[in-house]
Amino acid sequence: MSHPSPTVAPKVVLITGASSGIGEATARRLAAAGHHLFLGARRTDRLAALAEDIGARAGSAVPHALDVTDPTSVRSFVAAAHDRYGRVDVLVNNAGVMPLSRLDALRVDEWNRMIDVNLRGVLHGIAAVLPLMQAQRSGHIVNVSSVSGLRVDPTAAVYSATKHAVRALSEGLRQESRELRVTVISPGLTRSELTGSIGDSAVKGAVEGQMGIAIPAAAIGEAVHYAITQPADVDVNELVVRPTAQG
């Protein structure tokens, strides 16, 4: 916890998919800056361990079970945070899966899983926090997309489709909002557990072969910190963060 104190008041920040990777790194970075973290994921044992470690380092973090594909679970997650703190300042929609494959492999269940987590999960988060933020007349929604939301590569057609959709709905929300801030963060190759969801062994091997140039998840946590600590009248709409060596 060696980062300096923030120049803004501590915020109540909700993070989905917080048990590993970008979610965990973001939680650690924001806790180090003095923010209050409400952490959601399905792996509650890992969430509890993360919250305990943050607390041991003088940070503030509360774990809560969350399945972003279930709108009731998302509403309960947001309501619990609001009940505890009386407000919700930031939602980081981070939960995601990436089971890449060629379309002609017809891995339809994996396509549906990506749509459910990567797109519907983001929509469920927005639906749960938007009324609260509108009532507060302030709030910040950070949606984690991907450089795959800017381009399409072989084996990534459905994944890219979900991430393009996240960028589109984020821009729509931004244009509809005059008191809320909306940020899209698009990571490039980043060290995380996303490759673990790839069921096609050939594709998984090819992706893992590229990970030598991957940046740490902490780089994305730093981007989230930058976006949420800007002055209230400054909305950082989009950040693309990728390895210098990535094509």
φ, ψ dihedrals at 144, nearest 5°: -90, 115
Give the count of beta carbons closer than 10 Å to the beta carbon of residue 108. 9
Query: SS3 string of 179-222?
Result: CEEEEEEEECCECCCHHHHCCCHHHHHHHHHHHHHCECHHHHHH
- Residue 202 to residue 206: CA distance in whole angstroms: 6
Give the count of beta carbons closer than 10 Å to the beta carbon of residue 212. 9
Q: Are the C-beta atoms of 173 and 122 separated by less than 8 Å?
A: no
Residue 85: active-site member:
no
Burial-class residue 129 by CB neighbours within 10 Å (0-12, 13-18, 19+). buried
Q: Residues 93, 141, 159, 164: which is the catalytic one?
A: 159
Residues with catalytic roles: 159
